[in-house]
Structure 1
Amino acid sequence: MEDQTGTVVTFIVYLAIMLAIGVWVYRHTATLSDFVLGGRKLNSPTAALSANASDMSSWLLMGLPGAAYLSGLAAGWIGVGLAVGLYLSWLIVAARLRTYTEITTDVGTGRPADALTISAFFEHRFEDRTAVLRTASAAVIIVFYCVYVSSMLVATGVLFDQLFGIAAPTAMTIGVLAIVSYTFLGGFLAVSYTDVLQGILMWFALLVVPVTAMVSLGGAGSTIEQISDQAAGLLGAATEVSFSDGSWSSVGTLGAVAIISSLAWGFGYFGQPHILARFMGIRSAAAVPLARRISVTWSATAMAFAVAVGLVGIAYYADSPLGGDGEQETVFIALVQDLLPSWLAGILLAAILAAIMSTADSQLLVASSSLTEDIYRARIDKDAPPMRLVWIGRVTVIGVAVVAYLLALQGGTVLELVANAWAGFGASFGPVILLALYWRRFNWAGALAGLLGGALTVLIWPRIDTEGGLFDIGLYEMVPAVIVSFLLAAIVNFAGPTPSQTVRDDFAKAVDMAKPKPRAPSADRP
């Protein structure tokens, strides 16, 4: 344990800083808007880094390096899809969603709704007086976030077991207590401010590890040669590689299904409520362009570094390869422990904890917001005082965390759990969000059909696209689910009601407010 002293101390200091931020923000949290969206006050850098840190999760430091370790450069197709999807979501969703959620007319009062959740936005955007759409979307959020948060707790178990030999259930307990503590206290602002620190730490760690490994292997040229020695196809972006019994082999050209499945991850950005919350919480539509540049630059470079971690791991562990039954997801941890002194290793390994916490806290908060805003206030006590709502939000954070903890105890790999939850949100919310923002005549019936069709397809597809099943093509569930969602939304929309004049006016106003405003001429210009 003596060699682990630096790592242990670093982890303790890191957790103390996170809790301190929660306590500090606690004093500035007086309303549900503060707790859920931070009063819509995020500046561009905070919104960008918070979106990225809450997005990437432990998948970035464990799942993606592990995929690259098993299949080589071909794993980078996921990163390409995600980079494009992230850019497009900032470009075509962020500004319009920011303005629309604030100005859309409340179906009950006729005043601007200032919707704090995606579910509330749907109810007001579509003038749904039945509450069915809001309740259904809140249910989808809660179900998939329980799965998503459980993947973060599984990653916590792997991390603490690898570092300290702590059993997974104990490690998950430590992780959930730490995450709940500062989320419970500070809400959205605590989550956003901690995300900035966590995002910087994650990016720094992903840069240092592959560079250090390449230096130890004799430089970039030597590293590339050693990777190629294991299997020529490992450095081919279109080559399918198989890993079995500690060795790699090229098995042919990567098929269209595999490439489409990887690229399809990018569509998920249009429907992730924890990322959409950053769009809603940014201070104005004018702050979006700078946030987009920061976010996309961070994300694209971080994913490239993550793939590099997996590739250099192939060369570094050529004589004693990691297993392929989930052990590949520890390649980042193993490289840090083997390459760096204890104190520096502790800082870099805290990046994994940062990735876990920065995503889990955001997801807990969104799920809690749905329970508080879309279930309690909307259906039980519409006149609840602000601080009561804040405390209900805090209590529901604990409730969602407990359910996710129980699911995490059932096992599964980080990548598998993240993939299912990511597809669930991308296919259920993504098409509905895009159509709501860009189709003036889109109505609540089409929205409900698209939402439920996408969610159900994500749950059903993995059970029928299996060896010996109805399908056997290995297509990522995001693809068929998005198609089903768009088709159902468009078809059922024609059977639904025609949007009222108020809905059409709100749409036009949101579009106009989201347009880039021309810069004022300088005083010294003619």
Structure 2
Amino acid sequence: MSGQWLVALTFVGYLAFILVIGVYAYQRTKDASDYFLGGRSLPPAVAALSAGASDMSGWLLLGLPGAAYAVGLSSGWIAIGLFSGIVLSWTTMARRLRVYSYELDDALTLPAYLHRRFNLGHPYLRTLCGIFILLFFLFYVASGLIAGGKLFESVFGWDYRIAVVVGALAVISYTLFGGFLAVSWTDVFQGLLMSLALVIVPAVVISDEGGLAASWHQLQQRAPELTHWMSDNTGQALGVAAILSSLAWGLGYFGQPHILARFKAVRRPEDVPTAALVAAVWSLAGFLGAMAVGLFGRLELNQVLPDGERIFIELVGALFHPLVAGVLLAAILSAIMSTADSQLLVSSAALAEDIYHVWVGRETSPEAMVKVGRWAVVGLSLIAVWVALDPDSKVLDVVAYAWAGLGAAFGPAILISLYWSRMTGAGAIAGVLVGGVTVLIWRELSGGIFDIYELLPGFVLSAAAIVIVSAVTNCPVAVSSRHRELMG
């Protein structure tokens, strides 16, 4: 049997396994709470691994190794920012968001939480949030499909556009039926598989070179420009703006709906510290492995890759037996699917709960809302496929745009709402609008201050808008008595 057939069989076995999980979860999905939030029943390790797997996506196995391969050690500033964001978001937001969202009539989505937090008599904040979720998540889902297209194109020699469609069908299949439970439990398996791949691949490369010290020495000799924290691959020193832009990636964690959904879905608030520890350990291992793949991958391959984002794929094909390679390449598929499914689910929840239910179907039954959510998954997937069909797209570029948009639009609003009782609904609307629009505009400008990653100015301006508008419009906020008690 040829190596390509062995890899294909591994992929088929993997897909069959996650479809079984989807069918099982389908049988347990009875209403919108089950479909969109898993009945708030996730054990801490499941919540942590699911949050990590849904966060990292193909970016961890393609984007970050590609950046390390092309730019060098200086790309690690992004990893430092992200790791800091993971730890801070779990420790500052997770417990409060789990408690508050449940107390506010079991708010399933972030827009619903904000709407009830301020007891608004109009749907404008909820609808605005839903629109930004749909806009930026379309790009986020597309980034996963781009990664899938590169994977299938490299491994099987398929046309890139066909590969994108195949990947989309795989994601839709179990997200459509199983909902949040299927997504979360498959994320656990996928997260563990991603960790295994990011340990095995760099370990084999480093072992081939005689160990870590010898590998680093070889890299310093063959590509010294890649071994410096404070300069890029051209030898130019990193400026303050470049370092701040990389560290600013961590701010995105405060506003990613698909990650914050895991905070709300933890089984008990008391489970949050355990989940936070698991999340920190898993993500640290992943970042170190991804950086090692990109840096030391240059020592294993004789040619320089024109597309650094394919370094993990090329290393697996060069180093491992086809059967093992199939398992490791399935980790990329795991990363892609574990993020795209979560994003589709959050997007469908925004469309069904925060737009359709608010404006069209106020009397819609819980069972009917699940059907609306499933149709939303299909529709949104088709649009994301269309966005992803450009074969020249870069995973990291598309992720950066979506990450910034969601982080700036929702991060300050959610974070401040959990701690500041004087925040108003008008302040929340201003913050979401200013954060999202800043990213849209900043992205189109360049030169000088506009070279800073758009997430940083978007986050700062959003927070400022919340504080200023809330101060101007401050009045007693009508929230539930239990929520007022928790806010102190």
* TM norm structure 2: 0.97
Aligned position for 2:129: 137
Cα displacement (A) at 1:494: 2.4
Deviates more, 1:141-150 or 1:253-262: 253-262
Output the amino acid matched with 1:487: A
Aligned position for 1:178: 170
Distance in 1 separating the partners of 2:456 and 2:481: 34
Aligned position for 1:508: 484
Aligned position for 2:365: 385
Cα displacement (A) at 1:510: 3.1
Distance in 1 separating the partners of 2:254 and 2:13: 36
Cα displacement (A) at 1:37: 0.3
RMSD, aligned α-carbons? 1.4
* Matches for 1:473-492 after TM superposition, within 5 Å: 474-492=451-469
Aligned position for 1:37: 37
Distance in 1 separating the partners of 2:187 and 2:78: 23
Aligned position for 2:198: 206
Question: Given the alignment, which residue of 393, 401, 404 partners 1:423?
Answer: 404
* Matches for 1:88-103 after TM superposition, within 5 Å: 88-103=88-103
Distance in 2 separating the partners of 1:348 and 1:407: 27
Aligned position for 2:238: 254
- Find out whether 1:314 has 2:298 as its counterpart: yes
* TM norm structure 1: 0.90
Cα displacement (A) at 1:115: 0.5
Distance in 1 separating the partners of 2:401 and 2:394: 11
Aligned position for 2:425: 444
Aligned residue pair count: 487
Cα displacement (A) at 1:499: 3.1
Aligned position for 2:118: 126
Q: Kindly indicate whether the alpha-carbon contact (under 8 Å) linking 1:440 and 1:504 is maintained by their aligned counterparts in 2.
A: no
Distance in 2 separating the partners of 1:231 and 1:43: 45
Aligned position for 1:283: 267
Aligned position for 2:142: 150
Q: Kindly indicate whether the alpha-carbon contact (under 8 Å) linking 1:86 and 1:269 is maintained by their aligned counterparts in 2.
A: yes
Cα displacement (A) at 1:472: 6.0
Displaced runs of 4+ in structure 1, greater than 4 A?
Answer: none
Question: What is the SS of the residue equivalent to 1:240?
Answer: coil
Q: Kindly indicate whether the alpha-carbon contact (under 8 Å) linking 1:49 and 1:199 is maintained by their aligned counterparts in 2.
A: yes
Cα displacement (A) at 1:413: 0.3
Q: Kindly indicate whether the alpha-carbon contact (under 8 Å) linking 2:72 and 2:227 is maintained by their aligned counterparts in 1.
A: yes
Q: Kindly indicate whether the alpha-carbon contact (under 8 Å) linking 1:169 and 1:409 is maintained by their aligned counterparts in 2.
A: yes
Q: Highest Rg: 1 or 2? A: 1
Distance in 1 separating the partners of 2:239 and 2:481: 47
Question: What is the SS of the residue equivalent to 1:397?
Answer: helix
* Matches for 1:22-421 after TM superposition, within 5 Å: 22-104=22-104, 113-242=105-234, 251-317=235-301, 319-323=302-306, 327-411=307-391, 412-421=393-402
Distance in 2 separating the partners of 1:484 and 1:333: 40
Q: Runs of 5+ in structure 2 lacking a partner?
A: none
Cα displacement (A) at 1:322: 1.1
Q: Kindly indicate whether the alpha-carbon contact (under 8 Å) linking 1:96 and 1:511 is maintained by their aligned counterparts in 2.
A: no
Distance in 2 separating the partners of 1:304 and 1:511: 38
Cα displacement (A) at 1:445: 0.8
Distance in 2 separating the partners of 1:224 and 1:495: 57
Output the amino acid matched with 2:484: A
Distance in 2 separating the partners of 1:509 and 1:420: 38
Aligned position for 1:464: 445
Distance in 2 separating the partners of 1:441 and 1:282: 27
Cα displacement (A) at 1:410: 3.5
Cα displacement (A) at 1:474: 2.1
Cα displacement (A) at 1:3: 1.9
Q: Runs of 5+ in structure 1 lacking a partner?
A: 105-112, 243-250, 513-526
Q: Kindly indicate whether the alpha-carbon contact (under 8 Å) linking 1:440 and 1:507 is maintained by their aligned counterparts in 2.
A: no
Deviates more, 1:408-417 or 1:60-69: 408-417
Output the amino acid matched with 1:444: G
Distance in 2 separating the partners of 1:117 and 1:507: 17
Output the amino acid matched with 1:314: R
Aligned position for 2:17: 17
Q: Kindly indicate whether the alpha-carbon contact (under 8 Å) linking 2:103 and 2:483 is maintained by their aligned counterparts in 1.
A: no
